[in-house]
Structure 1
């Protein structure tokens, strides 16, 4: 059996945040927005104005930065008490994961609005949960992929370039992990074999990253929402998200997760960890010296760590 999942709709483009009200309106009239304090300070007024202009009545969650069981339960209770009819995850990975977990608890539609392109989780069913002290608990799964993902590339380009580079790393590994899953005959995140569609997505994701990655990094460093940024944002979020969930993960993520629990790892981004994990996976695969040299050169061009020392471990 083969299987893959998709969001109902994916929209991406410059200036999209100003249109958010019209885009959210088909999913509900009383959106409950999960966003941390920084995102609320930076984008809260614009988001609120757009939603209210569309006749919606938004309420922002008091999200403290950790996708923890107590925070999830409290947010779900507020959603029920306020009779909200849709959830918006606005910001980075933990805010989005918390919004997904609230969807799991309430069954309401979820709209994902990432403000950084630092990983490929936006399109997936996964919500990674943590203890309040930041220690890892594990994933929870929505029944289906998010109803909508809306990505404003001007917002992505204004974020610190380090986040964008981490997203490139998370996308870069997708093809290589897909190859290992297929070769080993292992299941994907739908407990089935990868579809040809998922495999093609993983392969083209790699092509986009290798072709446009260095220019996109330079453009984000200059806060330019260029055509290269558009292509790599799509690779980081959409291609890699569908690819990893539809194909599965392998050594790069296993090693990256192991690195995340080492002393001193707090503050290292997920993509930076899997970047090192990919180098280890490629070495275990027996890749030749020329291939590894080319990969290390590319890492340098897109500002990725090439050693544990560069990672800060």
Structure 2
């Protein structure tokens, strides 16, 4: 019997810590960058830009990661003869810079301004339309050359973003497990190696141990050992676990949730946290486990109902979400075949468990 190759991928280098941004010039020299160009939005540029070399050319990111935005910035980067793209910002800025680097074949440096999701380490480029509906996922030829995480920058962002990063990471233990159980492939087209599952488990363990204290510290704008541990979990471990371990229902559900206009303001990680509860309602788990997971999410301030994401879903909307979820490429990464009816039923079950957790 022929088995798929085991494949895992990593960024060229990962650097994390307070004041890490100060090392950027030296890191660019090590990479051999001759004409680096920055990609950032106006808000992040005003807050963090003064810490960067003033001579660094900048491309202004407008706010939505669309194919049109990527093409526009790529044209500007060509005019500057850029050989290295530096993404400074959140997930959409990062994905847009990835798209430009993919188009031009340049080096890529990721400098996240928030720890709201695990996109910094991966090759994935998540594209939306102007209505914030997920439309496609493209891929870089390789992972970013450098991921530079300045934890002093991260804690200055609104607490909601830090919490959303935890929400994006809580699902990885369950999604990587389902991908492995189903014989699914990871984002490199190979079989997830065992170490990917180990990273997913370690990610979950770090969140269970450190997340409450880290949230409290970030609310005070403090960098603590707990904050460092959670950022490592949400950016590095979660990123490696999803890309090399694979995804499942928690992320597949975003195909449906992002199509509901009333949920447009929900962050990626908030939707994934809710999706993790829906996934556990599909898995062969006890009611006690599902209730415990919902209570844990509530304790972390993460959503357990669609209303917390922005709107109560009618039965018709739940069915719409379920049907669109079936179009996700990793919907087959589950221990048994799923139908739209299964997913709609799980959404309804998650809503009931979530409501109970909120009042309990």
TM-score by length of 1: 0.95
Work out which of the residue numbers 148, 152, 155 in structure 2 matches 1:154: 152
- 8 Å Cα contact 1:257/1:273 also seen in 2: no
CA distance in 2: counterparts of 1:189 and 1:84, whole angstroms:
28
Structure 1 position 303, deviation (Å): 1.0
Which residue pairs with 2:231 in the alignment?
Answer: 233
- 8 Å Cα contact 2:19/2:151 also seen in 1: yes
Work out which of the residue numbers 23, 26, 30 in structure 1 matches 2:35: 30
1:46 aligns with 2:51: yes
CA distance in 1: counterparts of 2:196 and 2:132, whole angstroms:
32
CA distance in 1: counterparts of 2:23 and 2:261, whole angstroms:
43
Structure 1 position 15, deviation (Å): 1.1
Which residue pairs with 2:9 in the alignment?
Answer: 5
Which residue pairs with 1:269 in the alignment?
Answer: 267
State how 1:117-266 maps to structure 2 within 5 Å: 117-266=115-264
- 8 Å Cα contact 1:256/1:276 also seen in 2: no
CA distance in 2: counterparts of 1:70 and 1:251, whole angstroms:
29
1:16 aligns with 2:14: no
Structure 1 position 194, deviation (Å): 0.2
Structure 1 position 269, deviation (Å): 0.2
Structure 1 position 256, deviation (Å): 3.0
Structure 1 position 267, deviation (Å): 1.1
Q: What are the ranges of 5 or more consecutive residues in structure 1 without an aligned counterpart? A: 50-56
Work out which of the residue numbers 72, 75, 79 in structure 2 matches 1:74: 72
Which residue pairs with 1:105 in the alignment?
Answer: 103
Structure 1 position 290, deviation (Å): 2.0
CA distance in 2: counterparts of 1:168 and 1:132, whole angstroms:
26
- Between the two proteins, the alignment pairs up a number of residues equal to 306
Give the match's secondary structure for 1:65: coil
| Runs of 4+ in structure 1 over 6 Å off | none
Root mean square deviation of aligned Cα:
1.2
Structure 1 position 67, deviation (Å): 1.4
TM-score by length of 2: 0.83
CA distance in 1: counterparts of 2:60 and 2:194, whole angstroms:
42
Q: What are the ranges of 5 or more consecutive residues in structure 2 without an aligned counterpart? A: 312-360
Give the match's secondary structure for 1:66: coil
Give the match's secondary structure for 1:48: coil
Structure 1 position 22, deviation (Å): 1.8
